[in-house]
Structure 1
């Protein structure tokens, strides 16, 4: 969340950021609550101080003075209870509204509403030109017997699927290639809990806005994660880190779950938009330094590009516009991979810088060289998410007979399978 002092001093900037990000939050109401909260706190402190004075004066008071002091003490007690009761209500409303205020984007972020307003930075690789009529990944998956949507839906309902045989191996191969890449680059691999407390989702900025997309296990009051970013950032919640331990580089592997609320009827063919997927995520926690944060942003982006280049898939990097940036991000780049069946580049990765937004919510601080407490900065980026990454792999590497050549970088993980062939071939 933002520092309330920053909001007070930059009201119009914060309002503009909220409009550009398309978040409807009442900043004026927040400031009213903030002012009332501070008034109540100040008044309560004055009453407490006077109560103490009265309490100390009563034993020393004369017989004539004592009744008035006792009566004043009773009135002060009632007044304090009234102020404190209102303060609890005002504080709750204030904190709830403060959590809904989005971060302010960097000046370089283009103003826009949809991904069509993103600014393309660079292209890497060329989309493949086919000399035959290419199949989409759903048709290939059925032909090869590696994507079984019919039985997946039978078991799990809409937007479910099953990866079978070489399809399951292919997903695991991508995940393992990604994890190996990150370990080689000095990131700590982490597999954490998939069921998390609400505080972890509030702390990372996915609540309150993202509740409708999150699966709630009501009996246990736990939530299923939609990304291991929640796990990786929350590992250090409410901790004070030493500066020489920063930056902390994490890579998480996890299944992920999203309800995809509001996406009824969209992307129903294939496995582009599903309820359950597997992901390798990168997270960095660093000191509060904008230049260092930007260098680490480029590092995270470079890690994902290195994986894409190992897979030899054509992609482009785009600077996300304000309407495509989430609540906490000050900067986001997307990697969009060419998907032949869609005839377009589609998002497969998002690289985000959040400055101290998550750390303030999560209570992640460090002691700098001067011994001062500062909130850390956080960054994250997708390294690989499946089955979405399988779409360009299957479609880009398909052959005329319906077989799919396994990318060379994945072959060491495929138990000798170099070409996935149609069933019965």
Structure 2
């Protein structure tokens, strides 16, 4: 959540942020009003409680005549205190309800607009000219089926559309990617983590996934658990309700977990193959840093993602995501998009988001610097979303005979194998 002091001091900045996100600006004024009621009712309650305590000290010392009048006044004060407490609680609840609906403040350098209004910051690698090589590229599903690596038909039979099996070299390729990603993250100073896939409501709400993203979250109503769509959720909640020492920051974790997404609103989009699926595995970087270090840490996360994609020898571009496509928690987000030959365009493989103190306030994660205790900043960055990375590897590294060249960075994790070859039918 945002800092309410900032809301009171600079409401126009918050309105501008809401406007840039394409969200309800009236929410800002409703929150300002609720916050004012919360503070004024709190003052009223404290005044009445102070008067009540003072009166309680006078009654034992009063004469019989005075005591009767004081007792009558005490009864009225008791009623007033109860009413003031109820008003305070109501205003406090309303403030909390509204502030949880408000997105993070958009960074001033973020391009304003919707999904297509991003700005390309960098491009890396060379897009292959398959025509010059004398063959038409196959898509990842055709390649994967020929390699005995992907089985979507049986995935659909067992679980429905957008489910799949990775088989044979497909399973080995996932394990190679995960091990290589964890190795890179560990070398960079991240602590490897295997995280829960089921979390309580507070963890999901605290990371901002029960707002506009709620339609894509799986909820187990009987047990009131949520299936995570990213290990960002359990990693952000790992230090929930804790105060961390500033001299121990940054804390960096690399989480590996299954991820589950309903993909609501994407009917008919990316239905072929494994690019957009309901369940997948992912390696996610997560950082806790001091607020003043957040922007530099954001750049570091992006550099680690670029290092990863460069190592996989994939052509990709880096974009500055537009304000209307940020998600509620991020103040700024960079995406790395790999070139997908059969689609003829770049598609998102990784994201790096700076959430500033937004998640930390919601989850009550703070830092102590001397005597000062304050919210810290959290950031997250995808290192390897497995299915999409497999898509990019198969299509970009395919050879004319249907085999696929293995990037050098993965060969040690595939027994030195240099090429994945189609299986005999």
| TM-score, normalised relative to structure 1 | 0.96
**Once the two structures are superposed, what CA deviation does each residue of 1:337-360 show, in whole Å capped at 9, x if it has no partner?**
000111100111111112111111
Deviation of 1:65 (Å) = 1.8
**Once the two structures are superposed, what CA deviation does each residue of 1:344-399 show, in whole Å capped at 9, x if it has no partner?**
0011111111211111111111121x421121111111001010111110001112
Q: Please say if residues 288 and 374 of structure 1, whose CA atoms lie closer than 8 Å, have aligned partners that are also in contact.
A: no
Task: Spell out structure 1 runs of 4+ moving beyond 4 A.
Answer: none
Q: Which residue in the other structure is 1:412 paired with? A: 412
Partner Cα separation in structure 2 for residue 267 and residue 65 of structure 1: 82
- Unaligned ranges ≥5, structure 2: none
Q: Which residue in the other structure is 2:317 paired with? A: 316
The correspondence of residues 352-371 of structure 1 with structure 2, limited to 5 A, is 352-368=353-369, 370-371=370-371
Q: Please say if residues 240 and 363 of structure 2, whose CA atoms lie closer than 8 Å, have aligned partners that are also in contact.
A: yes
Q: Which residue in the other structure is 1:328 paired with? A: 329
Q: 1:179 aligns with which of 172, 177, 182?
A: 182
- Unaligned ranges ≥5, structure 1: none
Partner Cα separation in structure 1 for residue 112 and residue 213 of structure 2: 23
SS in 2 for 1:318: strand
Partner Cα separation in structure 2 for residue 24 and residue 250 of structure 1: 35
SS in 2 for 1:387: helix
Partner Cα separation in structure 1 for residue 138 and residue 187 of structure 2: 36
Count of matched residue positions in the alignment of Structure 1 and Structure 2: 421
Deviation of 1:416 (Å) = 4.8
Partner Cα separation in structure 1 for residue 16 and residue 416 of structure 2: 56
Deviation of 1:242 (Å) = 1.1
Q: Which residue in the other structure is 2:394 paired with? A: 394
**Once the two structures are superposed, what CA deviation does each residue of 1:47-77 show, in whole Å capped at 9, x if it has no partner?**
1111112222222222222222112211111
Q: Please say if residues 357 and 378 of structure 2, whose CA atoms lie closer than 8 Å, have aligned partners that are also in contact.
A: yes
**Once the two structures are superposed, what CA deviation does each residue of 1:306-337 show, in whole Å capped at 9, x if it has no partner?**
11111100001111111121212222111010
Q: Which residue in the other structure is 1:215 paired with? A: 218
Q: Which residue in the other structure is 1:195 paired with? A: 198
SS in 2 for 1:50: helix
Partner Cα separation in structure 1 for residue 232 and residue 200 of structure 2: 14
> Is 2:59 aligned against 1:58?
yes
SS in 2 for 1:13: helix
> Is 2:130 aligned against 1:149?
no
Q: Which residue in the other structure is 2:102 paired with? A: 101
| TM-score, normalised relative to structure 2 | 0.96
Q: Please say if residues 286 and 378 of structure 2, whose CA atoms lie closer than 8 Å, have aligned partners that are also in contact.
A: yes
Instruction: Point out the more displaced range, 412-421 or 62-71.
Output: 412-421
**Once the two structures are superposed, what CA deviation does each residue of 1:177-215 show, in whole Å capped at 9, x if it has no partner?**
100011111111011211111111222222233222111
SS in 1 for 2:402: coil
Q: 1:230 aligns with which of 229, 233, 247?
A: 233
Q: Please say if residues 297 and 352 of structure 1, whose CA atoms lie closer than 8 Å, have aligned partners that are also in contact.
A: yes
Q: Aligned Cα RMSD in Å?
A: 1.4
Q: Which residue in the other structure is 2:17 paired with? A: 17
Q: Which residue in the other structure is 1:204 paired with? A: 207
Partner Cα separation in structure 2 for residue 234 and residue 82 of structure 1: 36
Partner Cα separation in structure 2 for residue 78 and residue 158 of structure 1: 61
SS in 1 for 2:253: strand
Q: Which residue in the other structure is 2:267 paired with? A: 264
